[in-house]
Amino acid sequence: MLNETGDCEGKMLANDNLLTTDGIDFIVDPSQRYFTSRYLRLITDENIVPDYRAFFESDLWKPGMNEFVDASVPSVLKLGEKGLYEVASFAMEILTKHQIDDYHSAIYAPHPLPHGLARMYQAIADENSETTRIFADYDEALDWLLANSPGPRA
């Protein structure tokens, strides 16, 4: 059953663990140790921050959860330097607001385009309180993230 979220026009909440935005499906792991950002539809400089904002302002996100980025579909990525800087700046805003200094992102990027974009994002984000690692292997990325994901803060 789909329910429209109250404060995010056009965003649909499918269940207690999923938020679907214009470009990204945000899926919360049942343990709440991490969430997956699955890039499935068009991701641009214009929609990446609003999509992330919708998730971080929803009831699904809890401070202390880390992120698994599934960027395995290269054809949807139409990002440039502007979008990467803006999403990194937004991440810094959220981390600062919630006093988070141990945020981890595992980026699963098995193709050259998403891998290159992830490397650019990593260079920007590592200046913040975010530790980002890029992986070509899904299981390796998830193992690393789980080793660094204690779960939400009380």
Instruction: Quote the number of domains for the chain.
Output: 1
E strands, 22-111, are 24-28, 34-39, 43-44, 66-70, 77-78, 103-108
First to last CA, the chain: 30
Residue 80 lies in a domain: yes
What is residue 23's predicted lDDT score, i.e. its pLDDT? 95
Could you list the residue range(s) of the whole structural domain that residue 90 is in? 9-147
Residues 65-73 have a mean pLDDT of: 96
Q: Tell me what the pLDDT averaged over the chain comes to.
A: 88
pTM of the model: 0.88
Residue 153 lies in a domain: no
Q: CATH number of the domain that 80 lies in?
A: 3.30.750
Residue 109 lies in a domain: yes
Q: Measured in whole angstroms, how far is the alpha carbon of residue 16 from the centre of its chain?
A: 17
Q: What percentage of the chain reaches a pLDDT higher than 90?
A: 75
